[in-house]
Amino acid sequence: MSVYGYIRVSTKDQNEARQRIAMQEFGVDLDKTVLDMPLLDTRKNRDLTGVLIADIVLGLLSYVAETERQIIRQRQAEVIQAEKERGALREEAEGTSSGV
């Protein structure tokens, strides 16, 4: 399983070096680190390039989040189906209702 780092600075004056050191201490491969910089903040500079970059990044992050959620739902359904086939869910439900 891959481990990804997330580094964020709030202003152009800030430096991400301290966060990079912390990532290294946690064993995060810095080639896989996401660096969030003010470039994506289009509230001040609403030029076409900034808006385009922010929209692309937002779209990509939304896609990744939705894909991950779909994978989680699929895995949950597979586990539930396997447990039903094994009879574990029925036994569990019967055990809780009879124990009351």
55-88: per-residue pLDDT in tens? 888 889 889 999 999 999 999 999 988 888 888 7
User: By percentage, how much of the chain surpasses pLDDT 90?
Assistant: 17
Kindly give the pairing relationship between strand 5-8 and strand 33-36. Answer: parallel
Single pTM value for the model: 0.43
Domain boundaries, the chain: 1-36, 39-100
For residue 72, what pLDDT is reported?
94
> CA-based angle 52:15:50, to the nearest 5?
10
> CA-based angle 59:34:31, to the nearest 5?
130
**Distance between CA atoms of residues 74 and 77, nearest Å:** 5
**Distance between CA atoms of residues 8 and 71, nearest Å:** 27
For residue 66, what pLDDT is reported?
93
